[in-house]
Chain A
């Protein structure tokens, strides 16, 4: 034990932070810092390794404390201008301490190291075990190396090591990216999409509200960054609702999506209740209208009714309140301003999307100018997803367990999720169903949202992996951490994230919660690291390929 201020090292030669002095499995262990470790150098969220007697533990610093062995010292503080007294009491009478939550442990024997890897900690390290910052090798051991299943998303706090996410596991369940606006949710989501694209069998369908994933996004630092289509041209198709906006951004979309009035169902209207400010009676009137006019025809026929008298007559005929029906008519006439809505029946957007997905292409649906209209976003996302999901369900059932015939796993990314996964709506919408039914039908969600408290608890609890940037509101933090073990400690970590490029990641795809310093997106090094080549390089590469194939001089 160090007593005279000399730096202490553990068995592996790592600089020691301190030793375990107390603790419990439920509350985490108390670590008394060595004399030469200053509390000011400690950061909450840092990963540490604890060298127990027979096992090695990994955990996260969840709290930093100042302790004194003598309460009298608090009422009559020492004369710290006397450097001798200050040096003597630092680390002895007045000391720093940290709380560590040991989440994983690994046996010291070679079998555990080779086969099992780290497992959830079911005990705590023995008294006076040495605690040191996790090394690069520890991070690799815990989170895995960058390989065909692991995607590099960033690095742990204050470290250069690559922190990887098991993307294959990630794509198996629904996931969430949360954080208040401006904290880097979009960048993080772009990274995850690239990860899924490169490292898993799943395909992405992105409902791209602000047209920032497919083609050219903007970052706060540099003016523009490349979108998925620019990086993985052959694997990504950009669909658009607003062809003018795409052209303005010199993007040639692969497909222009049109929605027929016949495709809108009363369920879609229920979902739009909040954004369109409709009463439940008005929204439910859509069902009466469908009964009256018939499936597929109700919306067009209803919108054709003009004038108060005509609406009143209709209200009497279908037995609903005339004012409510008037309100519904009034709101739904907004659909006529949506350029993508079409009188013609028989649109093939859903089939087109599925055709692309089946070929292993990732589809980004840009909303263009309609992205600013939440009603349009919710309507289209819900309508398309419902039908895609139905198709997946049929095909999955038809495959009857034959893996080869099953449709490709699909990850649907949605933004502003709190608008259609609210407590009231989650039970009724397709997104609620997907989130709850997990991967039964090979469809999962990637929820991107800034207000997680608005999302139904059940949906939140079903999200496999959550990646959370800074959140301010208490309610949001509580919602994100609900049902997570050790949530009170993670709360301390979460509330102290930096406002940019930092996120707390926890859940299924990671063996333990970790603070991630996310990778810089949009730099030439980044593009290179994900295998993208710009014009000249690509030409060189293809020339080399030709040479390799046909010999020099061909």
Chain B
């Protein structure tokens, strides 16, 4: 499933398993079915917390039991899973989303939510309309650029590229976003240049 398709058909992606004000971790319902890097997701009832996918990982459920290579005699990757059906049960896919804003009382705010989402909140993919609404202003950029995650620049670039599809003139949206980035990253030319290159290619 491509990123574009998932955005067009909002679907439940998983549940929150770890939560803090700045970010939350969700466990996917199905192995390998995580949203793409930079996808806008939401969770919570009443106050909706928006997050942007910053990191996706698949690992063993039990931290003490590391997966090992098993397909020495198999022809293909599928054959490995077919011959060892327990693998799917022992692995889990998780993703980390950076809290980018929240919606309360019908109003979208593009900064940290007052409270993090609860554990087991369902995490849903945002629709194109929600994505357009959320990116109507670039106020979310400062929090995202300073998010305590591994690769904030890649996250921002992926998010902006996905978001541009939700606007009637994607190119103009990216230029506006680029100009806002250049204001935010004043004095960090190399970093700005890196993001702009990702946005343009």
- Asked if A93 contacts B176 (CB within 8 A), the reply is no
Q: A4-B175, A84-B174, A84-B178 are in contact. Are A70 and B200 (CB under 8 A)?
A: no
Contact A85 B197, CB 8 Å, known A35-B179, A93-B192: yes
Contacts of A76 in B (CB 8 A): 189-190, 193
B192 touches A82 (CB 8 A): no
Q: Mark A389-400, 1 if CB is under 8 A from B, else 0.
A: 000000000000
Given A82-B197, A84-B200, A88-B196, is A72 in contact with B179 using a C-beta cutoff of 8 Å?
A: no
- Is there an interface contact between A88 and B190, defined as CB atoms closer than 8 Å? no
Kindly supply a per-residue 1/0 record for chain A positions 82-94, scoring 1 wherever the CB is within 8 Å of any chain B CB and 0 otherwise: 1011011101110
**Contact present for B186 and A85 (CB under 8 Å):** no
Which of chain A's residues 5-63 have a Cβ closer than 8 Å to chain B? Answer: 5, 35
Closest to A89 in B: B182
Contacts of B176-191 to chain A: CB distance below 8 A: 176, 178-183, 186-190
Partner of B189, one of A4, A5, A72: A72
Contact residues in B for A3 (Cβ distance below 8 Å): 176, 179-180
The residue of chain B having its C-beta at the shortest distance from the C-beta of A93 within the complex is B182
* Binary interface encoding of chain B residues 151-180 relative to chain A, with 1 for a CB under 8 A from any of its CBs, else 0: 000000000000000000001101110111
Q: Judging by beta carbons under 8 Å apart, are A88 and B193 in contact?
A: no
Among B171, B180, B200, which residue has its beta carbon within 8 angstroms of that of A82?
Answer: B200
A341-380 toward B: CB 8 Å interface, digit per residue (1/0)? 0000000000000000000000000000000000000000
Residue pair B197, A4 in contact (C-beta under 8 Å): no
Q: How many residues of A contact B (CB 8 A)?
A: 20
| Chain B contact residues, CB within 8 Å of chain A | 171-172, 174-176, 178-183, 186-190, 192-193, 196-197, 199-200
Q: Is A78 an interface residue (CB 8 A)?
A: yes
Please indicate the chain B residues that have their CB under 8 angstroms from the CB of A73 in the complex: 189
**A72→B174 contact, CB < 8 A:** no
- A72, B176: Cβ atoms under 8 Å? no
Q: Could you name 18 residue pairs across A and B whose Cβ atoms are closer than 8 Å?
A: A3-B176, A3-B179, A69-B182, A69-B186, A72-B187, A72-B189, A73-B189, A76-B190, A78-B193, A82-B197, A84-B199, A85-B178, A85-B193, A85-B197, A88-B178, A89-B196, A91-B179, A92-B183
Knowing A92-B182, A92-B183, say if A84 contacts B175 (CB, 8 Å): yes
Contacts of B176 in A (CB 8 A): 3-4
- For the complex formed, measure the closest distance between the CB of A467 and the CB atoms of chain B, giving whole angstroms: 44
**CB under 8 Å from chain B, chain A span 82-127:** 82, 84-85, 87-89, 91-93
Q: Chain A residues with Cβ under 8 A from B196's Cβ?
A: 78, 82, 84-85, 88-89
B192 to A: closest C-beta gap in Å: 7
B103 to chain A, nearest CB (A): 24
Is the Cβ of B190 less than 8 Å from the Cβ of A72?
A: yes
A88 is contacted by which of B175, B186, B187, B189 (Cβ under 8 Å)? Answer: B175
Asked whether, in the complex, the Cβ of B189 is within 8 Å of the Cβ of A87, the reply is: no
CB distance from A165 to the nearest CB of B (A): 45
Chain B contacts for A69, CB-based, 8 A: 182, 186-187
Contact A4 B172 (CB under 8 A): yes
With a CB–CB cut-off of 8 A, which chain A residues contact B186? Answer: 69-70, 93
Q: Do A88 and B179 contact each other (CB < 8 Å), given the known contacts A76-B189, A93-B189?
A: yes
Q: How many Å from the CB of B187 to the closest CB on chain A? A: 6
**In the complex, how many angstroms separate the beta carbon of A7 from the nearest chain B beta carbon?**
14
CB-CB under 8 A from A5, the residues of chain B are: 175
Residue pair B175, A70 in contact (C-beta under 8 Å): no
A contact residues around B189 at 8 Å (CB): 70, 72-73, 76, 93
Q: Which of chain A's residues have a CB closer than 8 A to the CB of B175?
A: 4-5, 84, 87-88
CA–CA, A88 and B181, complex, Å: 9
What CA separation (Å) do A89 and B192 show in the bound complex?
Answer: 10
Which residue of the partner chain B has the closest CB to A75?
B189
- Bound-state Cα–Cα, A84 to B164, Å: 14
Q: Within the assembled complex, what's the spacing in Å between the Cα atoms of A72 and B196?
A: 16
- Give the complex CA separation of A82 and B171 in angstroms: 13
Contact B187 A70 (CB under 8 A): yes
Q: 10 additional contacts, CB 8 Å, given A72-B189, A73-B189, A84-B178?
A: A69-B187, A70-B186, A70-B192, A72-B187, A78-B193, A78-B196, A82-B200, A84-B196, A88-B179, A92-B183
Closest chain-B Cβ to A265's Cβ sits at a distance in Å of 74
Inter-chain CA distance A130–B12, complex, in Å, is: 50
| Residues on the B chain within 8 Å of A84, using CB | 171, 174-175, 178, 196, 199-200
Q: Which of B172, B187, B189, B190 has the most CB of A within 10 A?
A: B189
Measured CB to CB, the nearest residue on chain B to A5 is B175
Cβ–Cβ < 8 Å partners of B178 in chain A: 84-85, 87-88
**B171 surroundings in chain A (CB, below 8 A):** 84
Chain A CB count within 10 A is highest, among B187, B196, B199, for: B196
Please name all residues of chain B whose beta carbon is closer than 8 Å to the beta carbon of A91 when the two chains form the complex.
Answer: 179
CA distance A79 to B189 in the complex (A): 12
Question: Is B190 within 8 A of A92, CB to CB?
Answer: no
Measured between beta carbons, the chain A residues less than 8 angstroms from B172 are 4
Chain A residue at minimum C-beta to C-beta distance from B178: A88
Which residues of A from 486 to 500 have beta carbons under 8 Å from B?
none
A82 CB contacts on chain B under 8 angstroms: 196-197, 200
- Residues in A with CB closer than 8 Å to B192 are 70, 93
Interchain CA distance A35-B183 in the complex, whole Å? 13
A35 / chain B contacts, CB cutoff of 8 Å: 179
Report A21 CB to chain B, min CB distance, Å: 14
Please, which residue of chain B has its CB at the minimum distance from the CB of A2? B179
Rounded to whole Å, the gap between the CB of B178 and the closest CB of chain A is: 3
Whole-angstrom distance between the Cβ of B114 and the nearest chain A Cβ: 29
**A370–B189 alpha-carbon span in the complex (Å):** 70
Contacts of B182 in A (CB 8 A): 69, 88-89, 92-93
